[in-house]
Amino acid sequence: MAYKAKRSGVPVVYINPAYTSQECSRCHHTERRNRPSQAVSTCRACGFVEHADLNPSHNIAARGWMAWVRGGESQAPALALIA
């Protein structure tokens, strides 16, 4: 899908998704027990509760935003230009 973004002029930032399901999207405390079930994410530090699919998506978005703001270079391989 990156090629579609590139064709449309939309920037793409690649991030490492490791531990995003164990990280609290509010306080960023990371612990395996933050994910007690497949359906819910509950932070052991601040008590924040969120759907188990939404929490990591917020973390991925935050990591992408930080990479973009800091001007980090993507670790993804370069795409070939389509003529």
Q: Average pLDDT of 23-44?
A: 95
- Average of per-residue pLDDT values in the chain: 87
Higher pLDDT, 2 or 28: 28
pLDDT tens digits for 45-57?
999 999 999 999 9
Give whole-number Cα distances, 68 to 4, 5, 40, 58, in Å. 19, 15, 29, 15
Residue % of the chain over a pLDDT of 70? 86
Structure tokens at 68: 């973009």
Amino acid (1-letter code) at residue 57:
S
Any idea where the domains of the chain sit in the sequence? 13-70
pTM for the model stands at 0.76
Whether the CB-CB separation of 42 and 48 falls below 8 Å is answered with yes
